[in-house]
Protein backbone atom coordinates (compact mmCIF):
# COMPACT_ATOMS: atom_id res chain seq x y z
CA UNK A 1 0.00 0.00 0.00
CA UNK A 2 2.85 2.32 0.83
CA UNK A 3 4.25 2.12 -2.70
CA UNK A 4 0.84 2.89 -4.25
CA UNK A 5 0.35 5.95 -2.02
CA UNK A 6 3.85 7.25 -2.66
CA UNK A 7 3.46 6.75 -6.41
CA UNK A 8 0.11 8.56 -6.26
CA UNK A 9 1.75 11.58 -4.59
CA UNK A 10 4.61 11.48 -7.11
CA UNK A 11 2.05 11.72 -9.94
CA UNK A 12 3.27 8.34 -11.12
CA UNK A 13 1.63 6.23 -13.77
CA UNK A 14 -2.06 5.95 -12.77
CA UNK A 15 -2.30 2.37 -14.04
CA UNK A 16 0.67 1.40 -11.88
CA UNK A 17 -0.97 3.14 -8.90
CA UNK A 18 -4.21 1.26 -9.59
CA UNK A 19 -2.52 -2.10 -9.96
CA UNK A 20 -0.47 -1.69 -6.76
CA UNK A 21 -3.46 -0.38 -4.80
CA UNK A 22 -5.75 -3.16 -6.03
CA UNK A 23 -3.23 -5.85 -5.09
CA UNK A 24 -2.66 -4.25 -1.68
CA UNK A 25 -6.40 -3.90 -1.12
CA UNK A 26 -6.83 -7.63 -1.74
CA UNK A 27 -4.18 -8.51 0.84
CA UNK A 28 -5.55 -6.00 3.35
CA UNK A 29 -9.09 -7.37 2.96
CA UNK A 30 -7.82 -10.93 3.48
CA UNK A 31 -5.98 -9.94 6.67
CA UNK A 32 -9.02 -8.00 7.91
CA UNK A 33 -11.24 -11.04 7.33
CA UNK A 34 -8.77 -13.26 9.20
CA UNK A 35 -8.85 -10.82 12.13
CA UNK A 36 -12.67 -10.73 12.07
CA UNK A 37 -12.99 -7.01 11.40
CA UNK A 38 -16.62 -5.94 10.92
CA UNK A 39 -15.87 -4.29 7.60
CA UNK A 40 -13.14 -5.43 5.29
CA UNK A 41 -13.99 -2.81 2.69
CA UNK A 42 -16.22 0.25 2.53
CA UNK A 43 -16.72 -0.57 -1.13
CA UNK A 44 -17.06 -4.35 -1.18
CA UNK A 45 -19.18 -5.06 1.89
CA UNK A 46 -21.17 -1.89 2.17
CA UNK A 47 -24.51 -2.69 3.85
CA UNK A 48 -26.43 -0.36 1.50
CA UNK A 49 -25.64 -2.49 -1.58
CA UNK A 50 -28.55 -4.93 -1.96
CA UNK A 51 -27.57 -8.61 -2.09
CA UNK A 52 -29.15 -9.05 -5.55
CA UNK A 53 -27.07 -6.14 -6.93
CA UNK A 54 -23.71 -7.16 -5.45
CA UNK A 55 -22.42 -9.14 -8.44
CA UNK A 56 -23.00 -6.17 -10.76
CA UNK A 57 -21.54 -3.82 -8.12
CA UNK A 58 -18.41 -5.98 -7.80
CA UNK A 59 -18.01 -6.10 -11.59
CA UNK A 60 -18.13 -2.30 -11.72
CA UNK A 61 -15.67 -1.96 -8.84
CA UNK A 62 -13.28 -4.53 -10.25
CA UNK A 63 -13.52 -3.83 -13.99
CA UNK A 64 -10.21 -1.96 -14.26
CA UNK A 65 -8.42 -4.30 -11.84
CA UNK A 66 -9.60 -7.33 -13.82
CA UNK A 67 -8.77 -5.74 -17.16
CA UNK A 68 -5.16 -5.11 -16.09
CA UNK A 69 -4.85 -8.49 -14.42
CA UNK A 70 -6.50 -10.72 -17.01
CA UNK A 71 -5.68 -9.26 -20.43
CA UNK A 72 -5.04 -12.75 -21.74
CA UNK A 73 -8.78 -13.52 -21.57
CA UNK A 74 -9.63 -10.86 -24.16
CA UNK A 75 -6.44 -9.36 -25.62
CA UNK A 76 -8.37 -7.29 -28.18
CA UNK A 77 -10.49 -5.54 -25.55
CA UNK A 78 -9.88 -1.91 -24.60
CA UNK A 79 -10.57 0.08 -21.46
CA UNK A 80 -11.17 3.78 -20.94
CA UNK A 81 -9.37 4.14 -17.64
CA UNK A 82 -10.15 7.17 -15.51
CA UNK A 83 -7.35 7.81 -13.02
CA UNK A 84 -9.95 9.22 -10.58
CA UNK A 85 -10.82 5.55 -9.92
CA UNK A 86 -7.63 5.41 -7.86
CA UNK A 87 -8.95 7.76 -5.19
CA UNK A 88 -11.76 5.56 -3.79
CA UNK A 89 -9.63 2.44 -4.23
CA UNK A 90 -6.81 3.97 -2.18
CA UNK A 91 -9.32 5.33 0.32
CA UNK A 92 -10.90 1.93 0.82
CA UNK A 93 -7.59 0.15 1.36
CA UNK A 94 -6.21 2.89 3.62
CA UNK A 95 -9.29 2.96 5.86
CA UNK A 96 -9.09 -0.76 6.54
CA UNK A 97 -5.31 -0.66 6.89
CA UNK A 98 -5.51 2.02 9.59
CA UNK A 99 -7.82 -0.29 11.56
CA UNK A 100 -5.19 -3.02 11.31
CA UNK A 101 -2.20 -0.82 12.19
CA UNK A 102 -1.44 1.76 14.86
CA UNK A 103 1.25 3.60 12.88
CA UNK A 104 0.18 7.26 13.06
CA UNK A 105 2.37 8.60 10.24
CA UNK A 106 1.98 5.77 7.81
CA UNK A 107 1.38 6.33 4.12
CA UNK A 108 -2.22 5.23 4.69
CA UNK A 109 -2.79 8.01 7.20
CA UNK A 110 -1.12 10.54 4.92
CA UNK A 111 -3.46 9.50 2.12
CA UNK A 112 -6.49 9.81 4.42
CA UNK A 113 -5.27 13.27 5.41
CA UNK A 114 -4.92 14.25 1.77
CA UNK A 115 -8.33 12.77 0.90
CA UNK A 116 -10.12 14.73 3.61
CA UNK A 117 -8.25 17.87 2.62
CA UNK A 118 -9.37 17.36 -0.98
CA UNK A 119 -12.91 16.43 0.16
CA UNK A 120 -13.58 18.61 3.22
CA UNK A 121 -17.22 17.54 3.53
CA UNK A 122 -15.95 14.06 4.47
CA UNK A 123 -13.56 15.24 7.20
CA UNK A 124 -15.94 14.38 10.04
CA UNK A 125 -16.35 10.80 8.80
CA UNK A 126 -12.71 9.85 9.39
CA UNK A 127 -11.75 9.98 13.06
CA UNK A 128 -8.25 10.60 14.41
CA UNK A 129 -7.29 12.28 11.15
CA UNK A 130 -4.03 13.75 12.40
CA UNK A 131 -2.64 14.49 8.92
CA UNK A 132 -5.90 16.06 7.73
CA UNK A 133 -6.02 18.28 10.82
CA UNK A 134 -2.38 19.25 10.27
CA UNK A 135 -3.05 20.09 6.61
CA UNK A 136 -6.04 22.27 7.49
CA UNK A 137 -4.24 24.10 10.33
CA UNK A 138 -1.31 24.85 8.04
CA UNK A 139 -3.36 25.67 4.91
CA UNK A 140 -1.79 22.87 2.88
CA UNK A 141 -3.52 22.57 -0.46
CA UNK A 142 -4.61 19.13 -1.65
CA UNK A 143 -2.88 20.00 -4.93
CA UNK A 144 0.46 20.24 -3.10
CA UNK A 145 1.35 16.58 -3.58
CA UNK A 146 4.99 17.28 -2.72
CA UNK A 147 4.10 18.19 0.88
CA UNK A 148 1.96 15.08 1.28
CA UNK A 149 4.72 12.96 -0.23
CA UNK A 150 7.18 14.44 2.28
CA UNK A 151 4.78 13.61 5.11
CA UNK A 152 5.11 9.94 4.11
CA UNK A 153 8.72 10.16 5.35
CA UNK A 154 7.97 12.18 8.51
CA UNK A 155 8.58 10.61 11.90
CA UNK A 156 6.82 13.41 13.81
CA UNK A 157 4.65 16.34 12.81
CA UNK A 158 6.14 19.74 13.53
CA UNK A 159 3.97 22.81 13.19
CA UNK A 160 5.64 25.55 11.13
CA UNK A 161 6.47 28.70 13.06
CA UNK A 162 4.19 31.58 12.22
53-99 residue pLDDT tens: 777 766 666 777 667 776 667 677 776 777 888 898 898 889 888 88
Where are the domains positioned within the chain?
2-151
Across 21-30, 102-111, 133-142, the highest mean pLDDT is recorded for 133-142
Residue 161 has a pLDDT of 67
Q: Give the Cα separation of 24 and 160 in Å (integer).
A: 33
Q: Give the Cα separation of 35 and 143 in Å (integer).
A: 36
Residue 28 pLDDT > 80, yes or no? yes
Q: In this predicted model, what pLDDT tens digit does every residue of 95-117 receive, in sequence order?
A: 888 888 877 668 999 999 999 99
Q: In this predicted model, what pLDDT tens digit does every residue of 122-133 receive, in sequence order?
A: 888 887 788 999
Lowest mean pLDDT among 4-8, 70-74, 80-84, 146-150: 70-74
pTM over 0.85: no
Total Cβ atoms within 10 A of residue 123: 15
Residue 119 pLDDT > 80, yes or no? yes
User: 58 burial class (0-12, 13-18, 19+ CB within 10 angstroms)?
Assistant: middle
Model confidence band, residue 49 (pLDDT cutoffs 50, 70, 90): low
Across 5-14, 29-38, 60-69, the highest mean pLDDT is recorded for 5-14
Residue 10 has a pLDDT of 97
Residue 159 has a pLDDT of 77
Amino acid sequence: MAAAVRLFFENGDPIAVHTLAAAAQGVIRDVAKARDLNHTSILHDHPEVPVEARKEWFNILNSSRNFFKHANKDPENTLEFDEKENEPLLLDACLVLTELSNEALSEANVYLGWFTTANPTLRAVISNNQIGDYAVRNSISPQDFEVFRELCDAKILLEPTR
